[in-house]
Amino acid sequence: MKPQLPNVTRPGSNHTGIALHPDFAADMLQGTEEFGPTTRGGADQLAENRIRVAQISQPAGTMPPTLDVPIENLPLLDKLGARLQFERTGVRLYQALISKLDAYGTFPGGPSRADLEQIRDEEHRHLLLVQDIIEELEGDPTVVTPCANLQAVASRGLCDVLVDPRTNLIECLEAIMVAELADHESWELLATTAELMGKSDLGPRLREGERTEAEHLVKVRNWLVVASQLATKAVD
Ligand SMILES: [Fe+2]
Ligand SMILES: [Fe+2]
């Protein structure tokens, strides 16, 4: 097994900053004059182009034809589809995080394997809850809704961090924090949307999901605080 959590903030072989090579700085600046931009225009032209393309684009996603689904359920089904997608990804993220713990070990005050397995299982329960609600609303849980597609694209980098074999447990907890923040906010918004639509029977079930996500957030935040304290001590 690898040594516990290599301290990546110690001096290493990173040469990205210019301060390490002031002698090359002047050459670099001269290079920008010699080899100018390969295209004309600036930020204004970029913005103009973005707007032009946006105005002729189609939506990135749509809901399926609504032959059997009450049309008033569609906005909620779209958001439920996003939670289903995100919870599925959440299970995979925690599975990958458990591998990090097995590979790199944990740290004093950090998560145990049982802690991470519990959260993974809660993400899985959320997935099943959302699936049940979609079916109750006469939707199809296999649909990739527009919101689901959006969240999948937005969270792509998190998966990249978790499956990179070089990232350790603490680095992956940083990525998990981003996921938990987004997840908690999204459960809150989902519950509010259901209440606004008069689906008061769904409110308590969705609020329960939000409460569990709030617990996840507190746990991950505490682990990262302890990790920061340990990193600070390691530098002393
Ligand atoms: Fe979740
Ligand atoms: Fe969570």
Range of the domain at 228: 71-235
pLDDT digits (tens, 9 = 90+) for 125-184: 999 999 999 999 999 999 999 999 999 999 999 999 999 999 999 999 999 999 999 999
What's the 90 CA to ligand 2 centre distance in angstroms? 7
d(CA 74, CA 147): 11
In this structure, is residue 40 part of a structural domain? no
In this structure, is residue 109 part of a structural domain? yes
What's the 57 CA to ligand 2 centre distance in angstroms? 34
Q: Which of 209, 205, 194 is nearest to 77 (CA)?
A: 194
Residue 140 phi/psi, 5-degree rounding, is -115, 115
Q: Taking 50 as the threshold, does the pLDDT of residue 216 lie above it?
A: yes
Say which CATH number the domain at 157 has.
1.20.1260.10
What's the 195 CA to ligand 1 centre distance in angstroms? 20
pLDDT digits (tens, 9 = 90+) for 51-101: 999 999 999 899 988 777 888 889 999 999 999 999 999 999 999 999 999
What's the 67 CA to ligand 2 centre distance in angstroms? 34
**Number of structural domains, the chain?**
1
Ligand nearest, relative to CA of residue 123: 1
Categorize the per-residue pLDDT at 5 as very low, low, confident or very high, splitting at 50, 70 and 90: low
In this structure, is residue 25 part of a structural domain? no
Q: What is the pLDDT of residue 3?
A: 46
Do 130 and 68 contact (CB within 8 A), yes or no?
Answer: no
What's the 8 CA to ligand 1 centre distance in angstroms? 29
Q: What is the pLDDT of residue 81?
A: 97
